[in-house]
């Protein structure tokens, strides 16, 4: 696929994905959603040399200002909305279940589908000018890309219910206090901080990182017993060469050299 709205750059084993529709504040139109889906379904899994992914928005003003409202009126009243939401869910599950860490470097507005995209990532680094909201009720709709579920997972039902019903916008500090973002950094340093964290994670056992993602995600999967998943995953990681290396390196007081085996 030729990407029209995503810019991909690889540096130091990290894939930087920039959503590039600055004039529309990087709103997620259908084309951009198809590109994100392809990226995480087909492209990123084949990039064996990357240790993680960063998603950010072009320009200084916006991460992603939501789904593209200008495409809304084209929605077929007979199921078009459900189809759009299902594709969004499928795409964001690909991100959430990607076996390598994905960080949202939130450089501005993260509204509606933008906040939902950030929440589908494993970690969120906010610039101090970042703004978050689920403003769908202003349009007479509800979040359609997982926001009603992931906002509760991130900040709890009490505050999620308020933000979802009022559509209120919150700043980076409040988002941090609520547990919606991991760190707040000066504007412009979101990607650098994300890289620093990915580099730290890259020094760990990659199979263990993949299993952390899988087992933590199991918490929110109602058809999966997360504790049983952890027992299974623990059995798998303790059968790897990386586990032997990690434990041996600790005993020998040296840095582990993990081989992803």
Q: Which residues are catalytic?
A: 116, 136
Q: To the nearest 10°, report the CA torsion of 230, 233, 239, 245.
A: -80
Per CB under 6 A, does 110 bind ligand CAA? Answer: no
Q: Which of 6, 14, 36, 65 binds ligand CAA (CB under 6 A)?
A: 65
Q: Which of 69, 201, 216, 249 binds ligand CAA (CB under 6 A)?
A: 69
Closest CA to 69 of 29, 119, 32: 29
Strand, coil or helix: 79:
coil
Q: Which of 57, 66, 205, 206 binds ligand CAA (CB under 6 A)?
A: 66
170 close to 178: Cβ distance less than 8 angstroms: yes
Nearer to ligand CAA, 32 or 240 (CB): 32
Q: Which of 112, 127, 205, 206 binds ligand CAA (CB under 6 A)?
A: 112
| Residue 234 exposed, middle or buried by CB count within 10 Å (0-12, 13-18, 19+) | middle
Q: Which of 15, 110, 111, 210 binds ligand CAA (CB under 6 A)?
A: 111
Using CB under 6 A as the binding rule, the residues of this chain from 9 to 38 that contact ligand CAA are 24-25, 27
Per CB under 6 A, does 109 bind ligand CAA? Answer: yes
Two tokens at 105? Answer: 């470097």
Cα angle for residues 206, 207, 211 (degrees, 5° grid): 115
Q: Which of 135, 163, 175, 242 binds ligand CAA (CB under 6 A)?
A: 135
Per CB under 6 A, does 206 bind ligand CAA? Answer: no
241: left (phi over 0), alpha (psi -120 to 50) or beta: alpha
Alpha helices in the chain (DSSP H): 30-38, 80-96, 113-120, 147-155, 157-166, 172-178, 190-202, 206-218, 226-237, 241-251
In degrees and rounded to multiples of 5, residue 5 shows phi and psi of -115, 0
- Measured from the CB of residue 37, what is the shortest distance to ligand CAA in angstroms? 14
Q: How many residues bind ligand CAA (CB under 6 A)?
A: 22
Region from 104-112, 172-180, 238-246, 250-258 binding ligand CAA, contact rule CB under 6 A: 104-112
Q: Which of 44, 67, 119, 202 binds ligand CAA (CB under 6 A)?
A: 67
Per CB under 6 A, does 144 bind ligand CAA? Answer: yes
Q: Measured between alpha carbons, how far is 186 from 193 in angstroms, rounded to an integer? A: 10
170 close to 132: Cβ distance less than 8 angstroms: yes
Per CB under 6 A, does 106 bind ligand CAA? Answer: no
Interface pattern 239-258 for ligand CAA (x via CB under 6 A) = --------------------
Contact positions toward ligand CAA, by CB under 6 A?
Answer: 24-25, 27, 65-70, 88, 109, 111-113, 116, 135-136, 139, 143-145, 147
């Amino acid at each position: 696929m030729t990407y029209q709205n995503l810019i991909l750059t690889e540096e130091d084993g990290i894939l930087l994905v920039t959503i590039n529709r600055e004039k529309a504040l990087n709103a997620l139109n259908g084309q951009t959603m198809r590109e994100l889906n392809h990226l995480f379904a087909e492209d990123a899994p084949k990039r064996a040399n990357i240790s993680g992914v960063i998603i950010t928005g072009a320009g200084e003003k916006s991460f992603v200002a939501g789904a593209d409202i200008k495409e809304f009126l084209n929605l077929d009243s007979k199921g078009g909305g459900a189809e759009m939401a299902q594709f969004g869910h499928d795409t964001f599950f690909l991100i959430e279940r990607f076996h390598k860490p994905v960080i949202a470097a939130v450089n501005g507005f993260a509204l509606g589908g933008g906040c939902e995209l950030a929440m589908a990532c494993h970690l969120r680094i906010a610039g101090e000018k970042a703004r978050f909201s689920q403003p769908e009720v202003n349009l007479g709709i509800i979040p359609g890309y997982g926001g009603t579920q992931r906002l509760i997972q991130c900040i709890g039902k009490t505050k999620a219910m308020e933000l979802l019903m009022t559509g209120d916008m919150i700043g980076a500090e409040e988002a941090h206090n609520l547990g919606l973002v991991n760190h707040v950094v000066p504007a412009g340093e979101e990607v650098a901080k994300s890289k620093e964290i990915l580099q730290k994670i890259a020094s760990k056992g990659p199979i263990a990182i993949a299993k952390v993602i899988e087992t933590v995600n199991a918490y929110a999967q109602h058809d999966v017993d997360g504790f049983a998943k952890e027992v299974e995953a623990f059995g798998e990681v303790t059968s790897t060469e990386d586990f032997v290396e990690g434990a041996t390196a600790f005993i020998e007081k040296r840095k582990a050299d993990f081989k992803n085996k």
